[in-house]
């Protein structure tokens, strides 16, 4: 895969992501708001959660909430929109591998998640002082493995529910129960025993501990990383084997080629992106031509 093509795909994915207010809001604003609210409730003088104060506990916990919001809220509807469009189902012939689209989406998700984490840590520092990580490599490892795991879950949701609305609904339905019993909301110690048992099957619980353990000096717990990695591998099988991923790559490939081609006269510098801003028949004809290319590729 050419670096220039990957950069173009990533830039396109970044612009599409920033146009989704729900994705941006849940990834950046929601963890920040709930961190201050929950920390204000459980940050009591003289009381500790897992050996640290409530403020420090929830600052680190909500980094995992950023990861979950990215994988369950932001990614599924965006990825499902590629499965949903009719033009994607018609396109087969493409020189762009399906992995290029997945990697571009992953690159954008990593960038946004890192930015959201920096915003969260910066906003929390004045009001909720927290200790520096005891093991920075361990925290980074937990962040990367946790994010990959939840991105794979998000792609699985998009593959199983290949419409924007259904993927968004399923992501929201999964996010809140997983969040509430993960230890990132009420501490696990205040939950009933039945809920603590269910929390053992909560991937967000493992993401929270994968970040907290090295941060608070408890070491890198391999079992947390193994569980997250297993979830990522199992969840990633269906999206990577789905023909919809290849269709998405085909659609983006044709769109990228047309984005660079002139519209109208050969000497014109007007691109498809510019043409779409004005009324006229040329954009419609261009889309028809894209569909014709796809039909020839499937014939």
Q: What is the structure's pLDDT at 73?
A: 93
pLDDT at 166: 93
61-80 burial code (b ≥16 CB/10 A, e <16): bbbbbbbbbbbbbbbbbbbb
pLDDT of residue 95: 62
Q: Is 9 helix (H, G, I), strand (E, B) or coil?
A: helix
What's the angle, vertex CA 262, arms to CA 259 and CA 267, rounded to 5?
160
What pLDDT, on a 0 to 100 scale, did the predictor assign at position 252? 46
Q: Distance between CA atoms of 154 and 133, rounded to whole angstroms? A: 28
Based on its alpha-carbon atoms, the radius of gyration of the chain, rounded to whole angstroms, reads: 22
Following DSSP, what letter does each residue of 213-252 receive, concatenated? HHHTTS---HHHHHHHHHHHHHHHHHHHH-HHHHHHHHHH
> From CA 53, how far away is CA 56, in angstroms rounded?
6
Rounded Cα gap, residues 68 and 176, in angstroms:
10
Residue 279 pLDDT: 37
| pLDDT per residue rounded down to tens, the chain (299 residues) | 577 778 888 888 888 888 888 888 888 889 989 888 888 888 777 778 888 888 889 999 999 999 999 999 999 998 888 777 743 454 445 666 667 777 888 899 999 999 999 999 999 888 777 889 999 999 999 999 999 999 999 989 988 998 889 999 999 999 999 999 999 988 888 889 999 999 999 999 999 999 999 999 999 999 999 999 999 999 877 666 554 444 444 444 444 444 444 444 443 333 333 333 333 334 334 434 444 444 444 44
Confidence at residue 24, expressed as pLDDT on a 0 to 100 scale: 83
How far from chain centre, in Å, is Cα 46? Answer: 37
The pLDDT of residue 87 is 38
Tens of pLDDT along 199-257?
999 999 999 999 999 999 999 999 999 999 999 999 877 666 554 444 444 444 444 44
The pLDDT score that the predictor gives to residue 299 is 45
Residue 265 is given by DSSP the state: S
3-state secondary structure of 112: helix
pLDDT of residue 239: 62
- Residues in contact with 288: Cβ distance below 8 Å, sequence separation at least 6, in sequence order: none
DSSP assignment string, 122-191: HHHHHHS--PPPS-HHHHHHHHHHHHHHHHHHHHHHHHHS-SHHHHHHHHHHHHHHHHHTTTSSS-GGGS
Give SS3 for 49: strand
C-beta separation of 125 from 67 below 8 A: no
79-99 confidence digits (pLDDT tens): 888 777 743 454 445 666 667
């Amino acid at each position: 895969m050419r670096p220039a093509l990957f950069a173009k795909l990533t830039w396109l994915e970044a612009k599409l992501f920033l146009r989704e207010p729900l994705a941006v809001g849940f990834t950046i604003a929601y963890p920040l708001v709930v961190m201050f609210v929950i920390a204000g409730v459980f940050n009591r003088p003289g009381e500790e959660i897992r050996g640290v104060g409530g403020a420090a506990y929830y600052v680190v916990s909500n980094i995992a909430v950023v990861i979950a919001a990215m994988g369950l809220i932001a990614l599924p509807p965006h990825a499902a929109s590629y499965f949903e469009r009719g033009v994607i189902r018609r396109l087969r012939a493409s020189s762009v591998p399906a992995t290029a689209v997945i990697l571009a989406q992953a690159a954008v998700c990593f960038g946004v998640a890192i930015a959201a984490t920096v915003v969260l840590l910066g906003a929390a520092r004045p009001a909720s002082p927290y200790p520096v990580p005891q093991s920075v490599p361990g925290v980074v490892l937990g962040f990367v493995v946790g994010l990959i795991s939840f991105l794979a879950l998000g792609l699985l949701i998009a593959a199983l529910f290949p419409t924007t609305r259904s993927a968004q609904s399923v992501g929201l339905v999964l996010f809140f129960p997983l969040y509430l019993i993960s230890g990132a909301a009420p501490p696990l110690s205040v939950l009933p025993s039945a809920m603590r048992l269910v929390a053992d099957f909560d991937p967000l619980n493992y993401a929270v501990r994968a970040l907290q353990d090295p941060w608070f000096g408890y070491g890198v717990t391999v079992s947390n990383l193994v569980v997250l990695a297993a979830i990522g591998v199992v969840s990633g099988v269906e999206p990577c084997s789905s023909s919809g991923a290849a269709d998405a790559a085909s659609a983006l490939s044709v769109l990228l080629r047309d984005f660079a081609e002139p519209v109208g006269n050969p000497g014109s510098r007007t691109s498809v992106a510019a043409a779409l801003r004005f009324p006229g028949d040329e954009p419609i004809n261009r889309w028809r031509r894209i569909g014709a290319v796809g039909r020839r590729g499937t014939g």
